[in-house]
Amino acid sequence: MVIHQRGLVHQQLDDQESAIADFDTALPLVPEPHVTYAARGTSYLLSDRMPLAIRDLSEAIERAPGVWAYWYFRGIAHEANDNPQAALSDYENAAWLEPSNAELMTHKANLRADLGDYEGAVEDHSMAIKLDPDNASSLNGRAWNLYLLERNLDGALEDARRANALEPDAFHITDTMAHVLSGLGRREEAMTWFDRAFELGGEWAITWYQRELAAKGYYTGAIDGQAGPQTRSAMEACVRDDCRLLAGSEP
């Protein structure tokens, strides 16, 4: 177990190669190999070697299926390995074993949203918020998914305001505020928040906005990441029409 513990220290210090070497040595010696398989799988996960992470975490699950964290980390590896359905299945198993973990519920909600299950995302974000009322990510996530569903926009605005109070400099929360206000027909307020989103997101965010504005026919200028008069005029027209600028869009 001493070698296993040393591997954990290397892992915490982000020396994953040394950690993996220690776990390799420890595996034939430890009384509970599932712990070491999971630890090595986590080091593979942290070093972006997803197939190996999935292999080791699967071995850990086979030996100890009642440990929720093994399912959770394998889900993260599946998601990073472009297998969202396998990831969601693992998150669901993890949540069944550990229903009181807000971070897990938020992660599951975000993946359900990515898969287009906005109703399910709202449900999971609501559970995460119940577990942790100051969970800014889930407050924003629930607001955004309600916006995508075009349902209870007043509730979405309240969630977005709470998230913004917790993380006032977060671009995605600011952007959610702008979209929800646009959906409510509160145009001037929406533009104020989009201006703030320009400031917080900078060039990459403005480029994203410009591309979506151009795709929707509001903008014909250069895609240059600069919030000049033409970009702002296009945004004002979009807000006037509630064009749902980033609904279904990825940067």
pLDDT by residue for the chain (251 residues), tens only, comes to 789 999 999 999 999 999 999 999 999 999 999 999 999 999 999 999 999 999 999 999 999 999 999 999 999 999 999 999 999 999 999 999 999 999 999 999 999 999 999 999 999 999 999 999 999 999 999 999 999 999 999 999 999 999 999 999 999 999 999 999 999 999 999 999 999 999 999 999 999 999 999 999 999 999 999 999 999 999 999 999 999 998 876 75
Q: How far apart are the C-alpha atoms of 213 and 202, rounded to whole Å?
A: 16
Q: In Å, how far from its chain's centre is CA 62? A: 28
pTM of the predicted protein model: 0.90
pLDDT value of residue 1? 77
Mean pLDDT of the chain: 96
**What size, in residues, is the chain?**
251
The per-type count for the chain, helices as H runs and strands as E runs, is 13, 0
pLDDT value of residue 246? 87
- Domain layout of the chain by residue ranges: 169-251
Q: Is 55 exposed, middle or buried (0-12, 13-18, 19+ CB in 10 A)?
A: middle
HSE-CB at 49 with a 13 A cutoff on CA atoms is: 14
Q: Look up residue 48 and give its two tokens.
A: 């972006």
Q: Look up residue 203 and give its two tokens.
A: 């060039």
HSE-CB at 97 with a 13 A cutoff on CA atoms is: 17
Relative orientation angle of helices 171-183 and 136-149, to the nearest 10 degrees: 30
Distances (CA, A) of 90 to 54, 68, 138: 11, 9, 20
Cβ(246)–Cβ(190) below 8 Å: no
Q: How far apart are the C-alpha atoms of 127 and 208, rounded to whole Å?
A: 31
Cβ(125)–Cβ(141) below 8 Å: yes
Residue 141: closest CA among 100, 183, 112: 112
Q: How far apart are the C-alpha atoms of 183 and 185, rounded to whole Å?
A: 5
